[in-house]
Structure 1
């Protein structure tokens, strides 16, 4: 019973693989720049704070932002941009943007 399963074998080590996260694409960088500009968040400290608020990821440089987090960030920033100038009453029913089936009756 001294035989180990192959996955626990001390065989030859595997070469290090590439990182699991992809870097930002240039189009993602452009979208982020545009959204931050529209929101008036022009300094790095403010942008990093917004990244943390919207994604839950604390970064200290743009290179730390993975592509999949950037995509979520872009969508959330787009929502913020779209809500500029919209008044919020604090009532989700009153603040809804689309008609419900009840409104359509």
Structure 2
């Protein structure tokens, strides 16, 4: 009555597909590009760098060498976006506005 080979809770693991594409590892040039981008953005603390990288790849990363090439491109884009979004403010919000208002056109 009881067949041990056909258990209700044992699930056979599917065989790995031969068509799985493994992304290439990060290149030396990309590692340097990430470091240069951090320098341009003014991110000097290692903890800040690690937090930013992990927020992009959504996993823990102990070293830049653990990254994949595609992840490096996304990290560089995020760093450059961070750098470009930090505008220097020299006055009030009114002084730093980008568009003219009707008052400016009078």
TM-score range for the pair, normalised by the shorter chain length: 0.5 to 0.7
TM-score (norm 2): 0.55
Alignment correspondent of 2:65: 63
| Residues 24-35 of structure 1 aligned to structure 2 (within 5 Å) | 24-35=26-37
What is the Cα deviation at residue 38 of structure 1? Answer: 1.9
The whole-number CA distance in structure 2 between the counterparts of 1:55 and 1:77 is 13
SS of 1:74's equivalent in the other structure is: helix
Alignment correspondent of 1:80: 82
The runs of 5 or more residues in structure 1 that have no matched partner are 1-18, 96-105
Alignment correspondent of 2:25: 23
What is the Cα deviation at residue 21 of structure 1? Answer: 3.0
What is the Cα deviation at residue 57 of structure 1? Answer: 2.8
What is the Cα deviation at residue 81 of structure 1? Answer: 1.2
CA RMSD across the alignment: 3.2
Aligned length: 78
Residue 53 in 1 paired to residue 55 in 2? Answer: yes
TM-score (norm 1): 0.56
The whole-number CA distance in structure 2 between the counterparts of 1:72 and 1:86 is 25
Deviations 1:7-62 (A, max 9, x none): xxxxxxxxxxxx92322112211221111112222233221111012332321111
The runs of 5 or more residues in structure 2 that have no matched partner are 1-20, 99-106
Q: Which has the larger radius of gyration?
A: 2
